[in-house]
Chains A and B, each alone.
Chain A
Amino acid sequence: MSLDKEKIKHIAKLARISVDEANVESLTKDLNSIFKFIEQLEELNTDKVEPLSSLLNQSLRSRKDQINDGGIREKILKNSPKENEEFFVVPKVVE
């Protein structure tokens, strides 16, 4: 599998990272060498192997249905690059 520039642009779009033409070139080279390394796995037959679902041999622990969090709007908004007293504020979403 070799990654071309178009594919990389598409992935970058999915990952919401802008890449310019100059970057794409070196990214293509780097990613292809990494994938060449990764693709060593292809030589291994894993047809009958179950994928690992968890390292821990236990079931998901649950908590009681209690309200013990929230009500900390100031804390939540404090680090925001742009906010008002009540909301996070972001540039308009163009649908």
Chain B
Amino acid sequence: MKAQKKLNTFVTTTFEQALKKAKQFDSKPNFNQLLPGIPLAVKDLFCTDGIKTTAGSNILNNFVPSYESTVTKNLWNNGAFLLGKLNCDEFAMGSSNETSYYGNVINPIGDKLVPGGSSGGSSSALAADLTPATIGTDTGGSIRQPASFTGTVGLKPTYGLCSRWGIVAFASSLDQAGPMTKNITDCAIMLEAMSGFDEKDSTSINRKKELYSRNLNDNIKGLKIGIPKEYRVDKMPKEIDELWEKGKKILKNLGVQLIDISLPHTKYALPTYYIVAPAEASSNLARYDGVRYGYRSQKGKDLIEMYENTRSEGFGDEVKRRILIGTYVLSSGYYDAYYLKAQKVRQLIKKDFDENFSKVDAILTPSTPSSAFKIGEKTNDPVSMYLNDIFTVPANLAGLPALSLPAGSDKKGYPLGLQLIGKSLDEQKILNIGYAFEKNCGFKNEIKKWWL
């Protein structure tokens, strides 16, 4: 509870319920499950039956779903139970967890440091051992960037691998739920438990379930890994470059063949993302109108004023900013110049990957262009905040699986991550590479429990 106060990771706790479930499990233990009796806290973007679900927003402050998201249901069906709902950026829009209506989350790495975002409550709780594993959602890096900032493992699966049903939507063509864990083995187990075809999601991929944990294998000899030259950006700290070099060396020693590749449209990924994601969000968030659930402003004389006041009071600044960007890029006269253009560039970005994946098995890049920054450091400059996702966004635009691995730390001792991007539905391979990497990296996340 102390940790909760200092780190502000939970929006809602369900400890009592969890205790009951734990007792139930103990009285009749069943270890033939993937997650036997394991309590899990999850990002507060997953709708949970009978448990308040806020998406980090005031507009859903009092919202209690009568349904359970497919992904969380899959976890419970595999033996886990709910420990609580974790803080996140409002509607998953943010890279530092500073946009949450429920306050900043603190990175256990150090007081005053952000835990990354938008799954900041998840990364912080995981790193602080408040949950043994967790799940987040990743639209432009919201799993991988916080994982990198907290020295944990985060995987964004292939678009369509995990059902989006029952997850509060941010940008439908980019959103994917994924595991956040302490190590690769846990990551494989969690992915195995949460993924799978769902007929309620039209974008869910219908295929046989893979046994990621059973098939985990650290023999990666002979694999070809691409090193894209475009991921060396201006003003990137030297430490990131050194980390990347370190990663390459480790993989090389494991018998991997490194191949220099080019993904020429990388620099356009972030601008593309900041058209596509807000456009979809502006439409996805139109349902928060104060009519059927959530916050309703009491100000205003008619329906239209009720809408305007509800949405103005219910949404925070970043969300409003993105709704306005999205509304603008779709509006009459601007659609072709922005939205359509962005979808064309997205095609080019996807092609870059497609072409290279005929030559390589996976791609290695840094996860983020910096380590965790201080609370308030970037809040006044949205673009500098957005630049945090520069390395993670391309995988979302192309729908590819991408894994962030803890790989080292900077001078200040803040952790840094490396990213492995895989072919579509090739989660097993990047997990295997990650598995071998983990064993040979020698990085250990050192966190003093200063908040206790």
Contacts and interface: CB of A to CB of B under 8 A. Distances in A.
Direct touching of A and B (C-beta under 8 Å)? yes
Interface of A: 1, 3, 7-8, 11-12, 14-19, 27, 30-31, 33-35, 37-41, 44, 46, 49-56, 58, 60-61, 63, 72, 75-76, 78-82, 88, 90-94
Nearest to B383: A37
Nearest to B306: A91
Interface string B339-356: 011111111101000000
A8 B324 contact: yes
Given A55-B398, A56-B159, A38 B344 contact: no
Residue from B205, B275, B328, B345 whose CB has the most chain A CB atoms within 10 Å: B328
Contacts of B300: 91
19 contacts: A8-B324, A11-B328, A15-B311, A18-B308, A18-B309, A27-B324, A33-B381, A34-B325, A41-B272, A41-B275, A41-B345, A51-B340, A51-B347, A52-B350, A53-B343, A55-B399, A72-B66, A88-B292, A94-B303
A69 to B, nearest CB: 11
A51 B271 contact: no
Nearest to A56: B160
B202 interface: yes
Given A17-B312, A49-B347, A91-B301, A34 B292 contact: no
Contacts of B274: 34, 37-38
Given A30-B321, A34-B382, A61-B199, A16 B304 contact: yes
B4 interface: no
Interface string B372-409: 00000000011100100000000000110000000000
B290 interface: yes
Contacts of B268: 40-41, 44
B293 interface: yes
B296 interface: yes
A76 B292 contact: yes
Contact of B302 (A15, A49, A93): A93
Nearest to B282: A15
Interface of B is mostly: helix
B399 A92 contact: no
A2 B114 CA distance: 32
A15 B323 contact: yes
Contact of B303 (A3, A75, A90): A90
A84 to B, nearest CB: 14
A19 B296 contact: no
B17 interface: no
A39 B294 CA distance: 36
Given A11-B327, A31-B325, A41-B272, A19 B312 contact: yes
B307 interface: yes
Contacts of B309: 18
B327 A15 contact: yes
Nearest to A8: B324
Interface in B300-336: 300-309, 311-312, 315, 320-321, 323-325, 327-328, 331
Contacts of A93: 302-303
Given A18-B308, A33-B383, A52 B343 contact: yes
A17 B343 contact: no
B262 interface: no
A75 B429 CA distance: 43
Given A46-B341, A93-B302, A81 B294 contact: yes
A55 B159 contact: yes
B324 A12 contact: yes
A91 B303 CA distance: 5
A85 B263 CA distance: 58
A37 B64 CA distance: 38
A50 B347 contact: yes
B202 A61 contact: yes
Q: Which 4 A-B pairs have the closest CB atoms?
A: A79-B293, A51-B343, A55-B399, A81-B296
Residue from B296, B341, B346 whose CB has the most chain A CB atoms within 10 Å: B341
Interface string B280-306: 001000100111111110001111111
Given A34-B382, A52-B350, A79-B64, A16 B344 contact: no
Contacts of B292: 76, 79-80, 88
Contacts of A41: 268, 271-272, 275, 341-342, 345
Nearest to B334: A1
B206 interface: yes
Contact of A16 (B199, B203, B289): B289
Contacts of A56: 159-160, 203, 205, 399
B357 interface: no
A60 B158 CA distance: 18
Nearest to B322: A34
A27 B398 CA distance: 31
B306 A14 contact: no
B346 A30 contact: no
